[in-house]
Amino acid sequence: MTNTHQHGGHRKLLRQIREIMAAEGSAQKRLDGLVEAIASNLQAEVCSLYLRRPDASMELWATHGLAPTAVHVTTLEAGEGLVGETVRHARPLNLPDAPGHPAFSFHPETREDPFHGFLGVPVLRGGRLLGVLVVQNREARHYSDDDVEALQNVSMVLAEIVSSGDLLSKRELEKVALRPIRAEVLSGLRISDGLAVGRAVLYAPGRVHSDIIADDPEAEKQRLSTAIADLRRTVDALYQGKGNRLGGPSREVLEAYRMFANDQGWLDRLCEAAGSGLSAEAAVERVRGEHRARLLSAKDPYLRERLHDLEDLANQLLRHLGAIEDIEELPEDTVLIAREMGPAGLLELDRSRLKALVLEEGSPTSHAAIVARALRLPVVGHVTGLLDRLSTGDTVLVDGEKGIVSIRPDAATEEAFRALVSDRRQRRVAYARLRDKPAQTRDGKRITLSMNAGLRVDLPQLEESGAEGIGLFRTEFQFLLSDHLPRQSEQMQLYRDVLEAAGDKPVVFRTIDLGGDKVLPYVAHERESNPALGWRAMRMALDRPGLLRYQLRALIEATARRELNIMFPLITTLDEFRAARALLDAEIKRMGRFGKAVPSSVRVGSMVETPAIVWQLEGLLKDADFVSVGANDLMQYFFAADRENPRVSSRYDILNPGALRMLGHIAKLCHNAGRPVSVCGEIAGQCAEAAILIALGFTELSVPPAAIGPVKRMILSLDQKSLGTKLAKWLEDGSDQITGESQGSIRTNLLAYAQENGLPL
């Protein structure tokens, strides 16, 4: 039989299946007709359908050729037999001698002992395995590639029909693992504090209805070829800097996109699927499902990462086919479920309907995380396997305080969680009553509580939170969220808006901190093996000062006749700070020469983010008017743990004695030099860490707006001198006061102290 004849016969099979499934009758009758039609078309003596149960076992649902009495009786344990092998590898298993395979498992009630030829194909939908379709023959037969292709196409059609809910009754659906139904509690990373209850919405393009089976395969192949050509042109335009439809990824990422978009193996699989009777859209979905199931089971992390590239390309290809559309409107009480989310994408969503965000990836210090905190949006990240465990509409409880996500909870669990949400709401009301109250410890130490910001959306919270100013305005956000270099006038307008919102409260602008994980989509950059230790922040600004001078002019003009508080990021040497300050002085003089108004006064500060500058601090304090401790980077470099790597980002604890001694050293030197020092890293907004910072002698904290209320409540209950005395003893003893063992953190001691002294942490 020629390939043309085989393809024609297989397309006839797809049409036959469509007719069988559309006919009247019970689900069992239609499934029996399905396996009989497949066996006849593939000249197989047996065709059987196994569907996956919620406990991962496989149940025989229909058969032609095996004992009919085995249907709904034969059950294979998870991983058992050749069906289990097909599941484990998520790819077809083609054997000429099935009984000779070491994984062969014999169930006498099926009466399958005479059959040798075996072909098993996974039934996949969206990468999720629903079952296995099997054909068998008595003789030792190795099925042809066309037979494998035909069975894969049938399995995809079957997956869509079963998943639609039109075939099986509600009672029958409960026996099949079409979607997870059990309650689960998943752990992740705390990214943004808060509690939320809502319904899951998967952040992926919504499918537009499209027929699965095509009447004209050649026309579908042509549609697919046209879409692939369009996709290639899009990727090439991105690579050459002519567009940003894929979100402006780096050149390295675009090279990967180009490689995959031109991968002949991927393209051949798409064309084969379309030519065998599937629509172009269904062909893309089928090939994506196969790749996804295979790569998710891979142990190699590199291979699993490639899944992201393939899925993105598949989405782009479906968009060119006109088969998908983006979410236009979120439902009420949305808990958005995504693999990753950028800050721009997050800002585009309807905040009134968005209650929380849960990510398979994500880190506490990513830009999306900082935006989420500004929006007071609970976020939990790095939840492994999240997208495969959820379906749109599932109830989700998000605990951003503990980094826990509960999905499909029972009624009692949901009720208890809603009580926690209500309690937190009442606490926010209590915090609001503290808004205008000075942050002063019980023993009279006055603490300045400012807020971190970087977006216009942050500005209303300056008044709402009771913050005493903006201790850190991250100017790079304007650059990162724009698809072009912001003009000087655009920068100046943002800075004026910030100053106007602040009124007479101080604002500290940090100059652009780019490089490392902060890459501009419209500026070329080179790949670095370790970006955190590479060409970033002031190193980049001083080597290529044009962008920094451009920004300095906007800052100087925006603060005309006002005080300009400015600080430079990631200073590692005194020469870097002096060079940056010289650039600022030169720009102020330049503005004066042109007759433009300049700031009435200028205070120039430095971030303390590296151990290197800590040990040059005495010299820095002679030149700087103030310093601010950027604890995120400082702790990253101190512990040699990448804060963007979820595997190691949680391995350090700010309450480690070594880290605290370094912070105490900074506070002492600044106090002796009479220079103001603040802490503006995320730790300043966590009550336990903030209490220790105050005990070390820090009296200025700049925190996320949502943290001002809880931190102020803690300060009002704190006796700074008492905790300072205890802290000195803990650091001197070096042991846990509860267990007596050597301590890697003073956290246990602090929690015991807080309980004894009524300190709310």
Q: Tell me how far apart the alpha carbons of residues 402 and 424 are, in angstroms, rounded to a whole number.
A: 14
Q: Which CATH class is domain 434-757?
A: alpha beta
Q: Is the CB of residue 473 less than 8 Å from the CB of residue 509?
A: yes
Asked whether the domain spanning 434-757 has the same topology as the one spanning 3-173, the reply is: no
Report domain extents, the chain.
3-173, 184-202+351-383+390-425, 217-325, 434-757
Looking at CATH, the fold of the domain delimited by 217-325 is given as Enzyme I; Chain A, domain 2 (1.10.274)
Q: What is the pLDDT of residue 189?
A: 84
pLDDT tens-digit readout, 184-229: 888 888 888 889 999 998 875 444 445 677 778 788 888 888 888 8
**H/E run at residue 529:** none
Q: What is the pLDDT of residue 241?
A: 52
Token pair of 202 as six digits: 């998967």
Looking at CATH, the fold of the domain delimited by 3-173 is given as Beta-Lactamase (3.30.450)
Looking at CATH, the fold of the domain delimited by 184-202+351-383+390-425 is given as Glucose Oxidase; domain 1 (3.50.30)
What are 483-486's contacts with CB under 8 Å, separation 24+?
Answer: 483/244, 483/248, 483/521, 483/522, 484/522, 485/520, 485/522, 485/523, 485/547
Q: What is the pLDDT of residue 207?
A: 46
Q: What is the pLDDT of residue 166?
A: 61
Q: What is the pLDDT of residue 15?
A: 79
**H/E run at residue 710:** helix 708-717
Total number of residues shown for the chain: 761
Q: Tell me how far apart the alpha carbons of residues 136 and 48 are, in angstroms, rounded to a whole number.
A: 9
Q: What is the pLDDT of residue 602?
A: 97
Residue in the block written with tokens 């790597």:
645
What are the catalytic residues? Answer: 367, 680
Contacts of 75 (CB under 8 A, 6+ apart): 53, 57, 58, 59, 60
b/e 129-147 (16+ beta carbons within 10 angstroms → b): bbbbbbbbbeeebebeebb
pTM: 0.62
Q: Tell me how far apart the alpha carbons of residues 71 and 356 are, in angstroms, rounded to a whole number.
A: 44
Give pLDDT < 50 ranges for the chain: 1-2, 5, 205-209, 242-253, 299-305, 738-742
Q: What is the pLDDT of residue 309?
A: 56
Q: What is the pLDDT of residue 325?
A: 55
**For the chain, first and last CA: distance in Å?**
76
Tell me how crowded residue 382 is: count the other CB atoms within 10 A of its CB. Answer: 21
